[in-house]
Amino acid sequence: MDLEHAHVPTGDGVYLHCVLAGPVDATPLVAVHGGPDWDHSYLLDPLIRLGHRRLVLPDLRGCGRSSPGPCSFAAAARDLARLIRHLRLERPDLLGFSAGGQVVQRLVLDHPGPFGQVIMASSTLWPVTDADFGPWPERDRRRAAEAGVWSTPAPAAPDLVRRAALAGAPANVWRRDRIVPYRRMLERVRWSAHWLRALRAGRLDSPRPADGPRRLAEADAAWLFLHGRQDMVFPAHMAERAAALLPRSRAVVLDGAGHMAHVDRPEAWLDAVEDFLSGRAQASGAA
């Protein structure tokens, strides 16, 4: 599938780099990356296989090839609302991955669409601490290398974010045979550190909207919480908890998959996305 590139103005001198693919007249799916100091590229596969969708994959402000600007989750949500208007996307479906899911929450609450269906992939509605995982020695072992990178007194630079991501591969990808391909994928990411600098300076707002879960339960949207059972960043039981809370929602938790569930089990992950967006999925469950 051919990729198109656009730089969309969102105001205040900020332009979002955006990759578009698929038929122009097809139902749009806006997919928002996490990190946040990553770019959209690690989500292209398997999403690019949705040939019957109009895919829209922006780089958040300060990320990838988008303009730098004051980093906040509120500003990122505002950028997306303006991008959707600029591209004249009618009732787009939304997919937010990891921290991108928290941007999508802000978008739904602060800039009511109309939107279509919403997928929260490897994300959460609630704050997370180590206690939420319970005793899990394997998690401690797999996360040690990334923790070591973050603990070094290094400046907030793109190379630090890159090194942490590469070191964190065994924690984010559960299947050992998928770690090497995942690291090759990461070598194509355009790293930044604008969000990290804002975090270290105490300027970054909370990723979670005030009273978010209750307000999201009142939003006019159908939700899919798509998660890996072995996710070591956000525990899988929070996806099931969210599906129990929000009306018109379901959870799909993939066994044998970590935080990067689309890397561990790409076919099952994409099937869950397609089934939900097409209305074929009927109930919460595991796969």
Give 211-267 pLDDT, tens digit per residue. 999 999 988 889 999 999 999 999 999 999 999 999 999 999 999 999 999 999 999
Rounded Cα distance, 281 and 144, in Å: 38
Rounded Cα distance, 57 and 122, in Å: 17
- Inside any domain, residue 200: no
Q: Amino acid identity, residue 141? A: R
Secondary structure, 3-state, 123-191: CCCCCCCHHHHCCCHHHHHHHHHHHHHHHCCCCCCHHHHHHHHHHCHHHHCCCHHHHHHHHHHHCCCCC
- Give, in degrees to the nearest 5, the angle at Cα 164 between 102 and 121: 30
Residue 281: pLDDT band by 50, 70, 90 thresholds?
Answer: low
- Inside any domain, residue 242: yes
What's the confidence (pLDDT) of residue 282? 52
Q: Residue 269's beta-bridge partner residues?
A: none
Look at the chain and report how many structural domains it folds into.
1
- Inside any domain, residue 146: no
- Inside any domain, residue 107: yes
- Inside any domain, residue 77: yes
22 CB-near residues (< 8 Å, 6+ apart): 1, 50, 51, 52, 53, 54, 55
**191-224 residue pLDDT tens:** 999 999 999 999 999 998 889 999 999 888 899 9
**146-157 residue pLDDT tens:** 999 999 999 999
| Residue 284 predicted with pLDDT over 50 | no
Residue 180: pLDDT band by 50, 70, 90 thresholds?
Answer: very high
252 CB-near residues (< 8 Å, 6+ apart): 224, 225, 226, 227, 272, 276, 281, 284, 285, 286, 287
Rounded Cα distance, 43 and 126, in Å: 23
Q: Rounded to the nearest 5°, which phi and psi values hold at 199?
A: -65, -50
**64-97 residue pLDDT tens:** 999 999 999 999 999 999 999 999 999 999 999 9
Mean pLDDT for the stretch of residues 30-53: 96
Q: Residue 11's beta-bridge partner residues?
A: 14
What's the confidence (pLDDT) of residue 269? 98
In the block, tokens 């105001």 appear at 11
Rounded Cα distance, 44 and 53, in Å: 13
Share above pLDDT 90 across residues of the chain, in percent, rounded to a whole number = 92
Q: Rounded to the nearest 5°, which phi and psi values hold at 14?
A: -95, 130
- Inside any domain, residue 273: yes
What's the confidence (pLDDT) of residue 112? 87
Domain containing 128: what range? 4-135+206-286
Assign 3-state DSSP to the chain and report helix, strand, coil percentages, each to 5. Answer: 40, 20, 40
- Inside any domain, residue 57: yes
In the block, tokens 């890159």 appear at 162
In the block, tokens 């984010």 appear at 172
Q: Which CATH number do you get for residue 10?
A: 3.40.50.1820
- Inside any domain, residue 67: yes
CB atoms near residue 287 (< 10 Å): 15
75: part of which helix (H) or strand (E)? helix 73-86
